[in-house]
């Protein structure tokens, strides 16, 4: 376990620590950093990875199904536990946001590359794209459903958020190019130059994601609801990877894809859920607390998971 911590998670924590130090010593614009990654860098990473990825064998589709299946099953389990505890409306929405969506991007993609190499990283991209899509659709719907403003305009709001996400267009463009039997290795001239530029931008995305993660966690949080935070953290870090393992076996994932899926399912709560929770007043103290606590504890739980997987 110590070897996994040092070889896989220490590099991730080290880069994230740079973000923590920068945030505490400088006045960084958090919103600008987020937008640089979301709108400028991650689309390039997704596009170049999908253009070059080996999509044969059905692994990509199975990872999409796994990612969606985890959200569905975790939603059912969370509701079955939360409703008897008296969580309704905004409170239930907050608990669902804290447990359904994991940090498969800023944290999961770099960890997948360090743990399983380029092949594992490529598989992780499909999981990440699905999570991004669900967070911008199901996640927004969950937040809106628990808020007073939920109503006839909710569908329009959800659709608008989805249509503004460039990752969707990057993935669609890459798949469209793949359908035309384009070979990036044979590209020349301006096409080759564009691909190299996008590749350069994509390669900078993972470390930038970790720096942004560090800046987000540097703000800290006053833990106001330790009981509910502990429950949400347990569901996110321990129950979710077990569900992923079972679903992965049912979907017939090979050993590498199963390992990547379990690793990503064990990631801490997604930082972006705090934005949704604040926007719809869906128990933001619970969501923010779970993000911080689960991110810190994940160094231990992921070390155990990776030791078992490897």
Q: Measuring CA to CA, how many Å separate 81 from each of 77, 85, 231, 245, 293?
A: 6, 7, 9, 21, 20
Please state, in angstroms and as integers, the Cα–Cα distance from residue 16 to each residue in 28, 44, 115, 197, following that order. 15, 21, 17, 25
Tens of pLDDT, residues 199-217: 999 889 888 888 888 887 7
Task: Output the pLDDT for position 112.
Answer: 94
Instruction: Catalogue the long-range contacts made by 139-143 (C-beta closer than 8 Å, 24 or more residues apart).
Output: 139/97, 139/100, 139/101, 139/273, 139/276, 140/276, 142/93, 142/96, 142/97, 142/100, 142/276, 142/282, 143/93, 143/97, 143/276, 143/277, 143/279, 143/280, 143/282
Helix (H, G, I), strand (E, B) or coil at 269: strand
Q: Containing domain of residue 252, as a range?
A: 2-219+227-309
pLDDT score of 155: 67
pLDDT value of position 7: 77
Alpha carbons 160 and 157: distance in angstroms, whole number: 5
180 token code pair = 């035309």
Domain holding 123: CATH number? 1.20.1530.20
Q: Which residues pair with 102 in a beta bridge?
A: 269
Q: Does the pLDDT at position 151 exceed 60?
A: no
DSSP string, 151-186: STTHHHHHHHHHHT-HHHHHHHHHHHHHHTT--GGG
* pLDDT tens string 298-310: 999 999 999 998 7
The total number of structural domains that make up the chain: 1
pLDDT at 162 over 70: no
Is the confidence at residue 11, as pLDDT, over 70? yes
pLDDT in tens, 118-147: 999 999 999 998 998 888 788 888 887 776
DSSP 81: H
**pLDDT tens for residues 251-273?**
999 999 999 999 999 999 998 78
What DSSP element (H or E) covers 302?
Answer: helix 284-309
Name the pLDDT band for 274 (thresholds 50, 70, 90): confident
Please give the model's pTM, rounded to 2 decimal places. 0.84
**How much is the pLDDT for 250?**
97
Q: Are 64 and 130 in contact (CB under 8 A)?
A: yes
The pLDDT score that the predictor gives to residue 80 is 96
């Amino acid at each position: 376990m110590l070897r996994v911590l040092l070889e896989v998670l220490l590099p991730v924590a080290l880069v994230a620590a740079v973000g923590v130090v920068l945030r505490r010593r400088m006045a960084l614009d958090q919103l600008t950093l987020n937008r640089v990654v979301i709108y400028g860098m991650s689309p390039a990473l997704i596009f170049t990875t999908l253009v070059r990825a080996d999509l044969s064998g059905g692994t990509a589709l199975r990872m999409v199904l796994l990612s969606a299946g985890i959200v569905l099953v975790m939603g059912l389990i969370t509701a079955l536990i939360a409703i008897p505890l008296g969580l309704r409306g905004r409170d239930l929405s907050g608990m669902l946001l804290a447990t359904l969506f994991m940090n498969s991007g800023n944290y999961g993609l770099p960890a997948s590359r360090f743990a399983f190499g380029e092949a594992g990283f490529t598989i992780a991209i499909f999981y990440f794209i699905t999570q991004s899509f669900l967070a911008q659709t199901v996640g927004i719907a969950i937040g809106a459903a628990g808020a007073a403003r939920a109503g006839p305009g909710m569908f329009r709001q959800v659709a608008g958020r989805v249509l503004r996400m460039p990752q969707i267009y990057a993935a669609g463009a890459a798949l469209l190019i793949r359908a035309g039997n384009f070979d990036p290795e044979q590209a020349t001239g301006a096409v080759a130059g564009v691909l190299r530029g996008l590749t350069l931008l994509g390669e900078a995305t993972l470390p930038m994601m970790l720096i942004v993660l560090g800046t987000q966690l540097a703000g800290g949080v006053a833990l106001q609801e330790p009981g509910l935070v502990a429950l949400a953290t347990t569901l996110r870090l321990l129950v979710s990877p077990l569900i992923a393992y079972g679903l992965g076996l049912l979907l017939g994932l090979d050993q590498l894809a199963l390992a990547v899926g379990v690793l990503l399912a064990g990631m801490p709560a997604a930082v972006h859920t705090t934005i949704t929770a604040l926007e719809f007043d869906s128990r933001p103290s619970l969501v923010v607390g779970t993000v911080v606590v689960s991110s810190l504890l994940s160094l231990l739980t992921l070390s155990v998971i990776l030791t078992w997987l490897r």
